Amino acid sequence: MAIAVASGWFNALASAGTSRHTISSQRLFSSPQISAARLIVPKAASKSQNPKKRTPKDRSRISSPEKEANIEKLSRRSRDERQYSNADDYNDTKNAEQPQSTTFKSFGTQRKNAKGFMGNLKDQQVEAAKIQDASFLNAVVKVYCTHTAPDYSLPWQKQRQYTSTGSAFMIGDGKLLTNAHCVEHNTQVKVKRRGDDTKYVAKVLAKGMECDIALLSVENETFWKGAEPLQFGHLPRLQDPVTVVGYPLGGDTISVTKGVVSRIEVTSYAHGSGELLGIQIDAAINPGNSGGPAFNDQGECIGVAFQVYRSDDVENIGYVIPTTVVSHFLDDYERNGKYTGFPSLGILLQKLENPALRACLKVPSNEGVLVRRVESTSGASNVLKEGDVIVSFDGVEVGSEGTVPFRSTERIAFRYLISQKFTGDIAELGIIRSGAFMKVHTAMNPRVHLVPYHIEGGQPSYLIVAGLVFTPLSEPLIDEECEDSIGLKLLTKARYSMARFKGEQIVILSQVLANEVNIGYEDMSNEQVLKFNGTRIKNIHHLAHLVDSCTDKYLIFEFEDNYLAVLEREASSAASQCILKDYGIPSERSSDLLEPYVDPIGENQVIEHHDLGESPVTNSDFGFDGLQWA
């Protein structure tokens, strides 16, 4: 499990229902001393009240202590700023008082040196005037988004809509950049320029969930009159000044905060499922700043503000998406006409810092990382084997601690090189296999997730058979149902299993809509269905195909631990329309299941059980305890 938790105040801004915990999967710290750390995605307050979520059962929404130790993207929709501080402080009021005492102490120190304080104040006023007159501020716009998120527990409907605000900026060619989480599940997006009282409708062209970037366009030419797009700058250096501009809470006009670059490294992206290059800054990033630009002293954009890190032990840690990641997103869109994602090698790695381990693997020098496991869906599955040692990537040497040279005097995680590739690119790997050095080539493709972090198309698939509701397991569903409701065994599969082929899903019986035809099964919920009439299920579409083509007298569903649910086929068919009418459900299946079924691996290929007992894999292995994904 991860050890960072997202701040509660964002929970009111971006999702319907009560507090929701999207479990990301990377440990930010291995030290047990750091508790209640929170990596969060800031977003402005919503203008609609959060309705109480209605579910088929009275499910508990109480967060477990284990949940409060994860990197999460939370959302809250409330304009009451008192909730921000209250929800942000998971401890007692003593912790909440600490920043006040610190501020008071600093103020007292300034009064002792009043002359110096007044001089600094004048300098700050002059600097503020320069920023106020800067033309680049006019390229920053306010985003108004109306969201309608899917209801993953009741997948045939959506949740009540809500609104939120964020920031964006002009990049030329009639386009704007913002964060993906600012326009997630959008039904309407509007933007307003600084000093203007007119809102213009914007269209979302592309969303990169893992990099948390979205591309917008505005067709109205009036919006672009006199507009000057921002210019992108280079990756900054440590201690370089940085200015964050946006429309956060606290007012309706544009806001400017200043700080310096504190750190540049591969970091966890709370909205996505992986790690990419990130810039850590100490300038304030608040709800509403999301999607706004960060500038250097030359007025060049060096990145996009997108998340902050909250902890009782740290303060003033914000993150900016650097221009290298932004450029990759834009180039990907230009190449393919859509966003295809950041590629992955699909391998689990182990560091080789121990000399005896290197000697055992016949690695002659202090270099390389060990391949512990290769995903069968990865392009590297045909060229790499367990036990191989990767010593170079495209000619760049890989150190034994899993890092590569970065700029002149720095080193960075090996994953950085992989993230520079595009889908379909070929990478050259230098490996040591059984003591012999060789070079191999592999195609780069995005990683295939057995349990997705985001639902493609927005609406989850579902199938209703005689009141039995089947749907694929996903992180948003786990988030909505809460971990206690999902169960330990299913959570273990979600965290530790890998996809064996593209298109594989864990299909679960989420609930049973009570009816005479399904008497005795009413209490079943969140159980994985393994087989239908003896055939192992590959995905939700496969299950629908099996049910449609069945001519047997009985429909036999086999679940975990040999639990059976048997229905009469003709009785089930006769009862289906009545059940749909009683529960107000428009269709027995989602629209995507109406398409012809295409088998992802072939009809005759045998599917084995997921092996959880050997080399368990979870995203929390990224980069710690000697393990990391690449």
Q: Which of 167, 268, 273, 290 is catalytic?
A: 290
Q: Which of 15, 19, 21, 212 is catalytic?
A: 212
Known catalytic residue: 181? yes
Known catalytic residue: 212? yes
Amino acid 463 reads: L
Cα gap 339→456, rounded to integer Å: 12
- Tell which residue, 156, 189, 176, has the closest CA to residue 227: 176
Buried b (16+ CB within 10 A) or exposed e, 184-221: bbbeebbbbbeeeeebbebebebbbbbbbbbbbebeee
User: Left, alpha or beta for 373 (phi > 0: left; psi -120 to 50: alpha)?
Assistant: beta
Strand segments (E) across 85-232? 140-147, 162-172, 175-178, 186-192, 200-208, 213-217
- Inter-CA distances, 374 with 103, 370, 387, 498, Å: 52, 11, 10, 10
Q: Which of 21, 147, 181, 185 is catalytic?
A: 181
Cα gap 186→207, rounded to integer Å: 11
Known catalytic residue: 123? no
Q: Taking a C-beta distance cutoff of 8 angstroms, is the pair 215, 330 a contact? A: yes
Cα gap 426→394, rounded to integer Å: 9
SS3 assignment, position 542: helix
Between CA 88 and CA 96, with CA 91 as vertex, the angle to 5 degrees is: 65
Cα dihedral value 409, 411, 412, 414, nearest 10: 130
Direct distance between the N- and C-terminal alpha carbons of the chain, in angstroms, rounded to an integer: 19
- Looking up tokens 């045909």 gives 382
How many separate helices (H) and strands (E) can be counted in the chain? Answer: 11, 29
Catalytic residue positions? 181, 212, 290
